[in-house]
């Protein structure tokens, strides 16, 4: 088992927003290294259900959280499957849900997972190593137009067509360093320290793991299992994720709802007005926290 060491972002802010209480049940929908779950269990004598599709994350988090005994329950599943996970454990509702979206540090740092453009590894990028679709399928088998679409829509890379054309011309792409080098032939290093391949890798990774589809399915499912007064906390890392969460909160709180002739909002709404989003402090030593944003809301009766 590869060590799954991960520094949780916005940890204190998330616990403040979640407000764990004794006797309550919470779901960490993206368990990862278990940092958020550990903080919740330390904060109150409660129970946490930890969900992750990565078996390595589950094994490492379970070892880390062994001291909590039956207060922690690990489940291998996609976070969009939260409703079936909760029901499968014999529960009708839970008192809080957190989700730390995107890719985790260990997945990025270990070359054999194929997420990193800094180390030589297989063209993989699967969060679930048993999933059928891998980055190799997209990079080496998908039509050029589809590859360009993925890089443009999910990576927000303006030079997506040129990148796709270059990749297709050099197939087969055998490792992540070769892929990053090909992108570098099209996108030059600018004044920013951002690697030229960052957006392309992001786009392919999101497509491999259906990350945006997962978020779209997760948000209403999470709200469905929340008890009245329960809290939903979601941490995003880039604009595509945050846009989905922001829009969902706005819709479910009635912020964007139409009004009648008296100025009253039309419709029924499931969450209170969301708290102002929180970002990491500029002084945060965790470089992956710089783009993180926390949004939280409370389930209405």
Q: Is 60 exceeded by the pLDDT of residue 138?
A: yes
Question: With left for phi above 0 and alpha for psi between -120 and 50, is residue 189 left, alpha or beta?
Answer: beta
CB 68 within 8 A of CB 41: yes
In 3-state terms, what secondary structure has residue 181?
Answer: helix
Using alpha carbons, list the distances in angstroms from residue 210 to 145, 147, 150, 181: 18, 15, 11, 25
20-47 residues labelled b (16+ CB within 10 A) or e (exposed): beeebbbbbbbbbbbbbbbbbbeebebb
| Residue 170 backbone dihedrals phi, psi, to 5 degrees | -115, 15
Residue 1's pLDDT band (cuts 50, 70, 90): very low
**So where are the chain's domains?**
11-105+211-298, 113-209
| Residue 206 backbone dihedrals phi, psi, to 5 degrees | -65, -40
Which tens digits make up the pLDDT trace of 23-74?
999 999 999 999 999 999 999 999 999 999 999 999 999 999 999 999 999 9
Q: Is 70 exceeded by the pLDDT of residue 105?
A: no
* Domain spanning 113-209, CATH architecture: Orthogonal Bundle (1.10)
Domains 11-105+211-298 and 113-209 share a fold: no
Rounded mean pLDDT, 253-275: 85
Residue 6's pLDDT band (cuts 50, 70, 90): low
Q: Is 50 exceeded by the pLDDT of residue 158?
A: yes
The span from the first CA to the last CA of the chain, in angstroms, equals 44
Query: Parallel, antiparallel, or unpaired: how do β-strands 278-279 and 226-236 relate?
Result: unpaired
Rounded mean pLDDT, 236-261: 92
In 3-state terms, what secondary structure has residue 128?
Answer: coil
Superfamily of domain 11-105+211-298: Vaccinia Virus protein VP39 (3.40.50.150)
Q: Is 90 exceeded by the pLDDT of residue 166?
A: yes
pLDDT attached to residue 81: 98
Residue 102's pLDDT band (cuts 50, 70, 90): confident
Rounded mean pLDDT, 174-202: 91
pLDDT attached to residue 191: 66
């Amino acid at each position: 088992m590869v060590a799954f060491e991960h520094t949780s972002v916005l940890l204190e802010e998330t616990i403040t927003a979640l407000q764990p209480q004794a006797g309550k049940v919470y779901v960490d929908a993206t368990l990862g290294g278990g940092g958020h779950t550990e903080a919740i269990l330390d904060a109150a004598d409660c129970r946490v259900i930890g969900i992750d599709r990565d078996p390595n994350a589950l094994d490492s988090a379970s070892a880390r959280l062994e001291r909590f005994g039956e207060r922690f329950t690990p489940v291998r599943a996609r976070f969009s499957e939260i409703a079936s996970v909760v029901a499968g454990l014999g529960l009708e509702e839970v008192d809080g849900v957190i989700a730390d979206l995107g890719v985790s540090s260990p997945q990025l740092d270990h070359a054999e997972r194929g997420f990193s453009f800094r180390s030589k590894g297989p063209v993989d990028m699967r969060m679930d190593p048993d999933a059928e679709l891998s980055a190799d399928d997209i990079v080496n088998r998908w039509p050029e137009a589809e590859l360009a679409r993925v890089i443009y829509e999910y990576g927000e890379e303006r030079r997506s067509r040129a990148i796709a054309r270059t990749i297709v011309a050099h197939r087969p792409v055998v490792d992540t360093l070769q892929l990053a080098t090909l992108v570098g032939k099209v996108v030059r290093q600018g004044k920013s320290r951002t690697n030229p391949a960052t957006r392309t890798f992001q786009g392919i990774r999101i497509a491999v793991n259906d990350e945006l589809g997962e978020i779209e399915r997760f948000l209403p499912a999470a709200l469905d299992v929340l008890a009245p007064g329960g809290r939903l906390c979601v941490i995003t890392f880039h604009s595509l994720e945050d846009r989905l969460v922001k829009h969902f909160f706005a819709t479910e709180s009635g912020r964007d709802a139409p009004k009648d002739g008296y100025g009253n909002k039309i419709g029924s709404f499931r969450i209170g007005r969301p708290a102002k989003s929180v970002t990491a402090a500029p002084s945060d030593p965790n470089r992956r926290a710089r783009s993180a944003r926390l949004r939280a809301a409370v389930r209405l009766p």
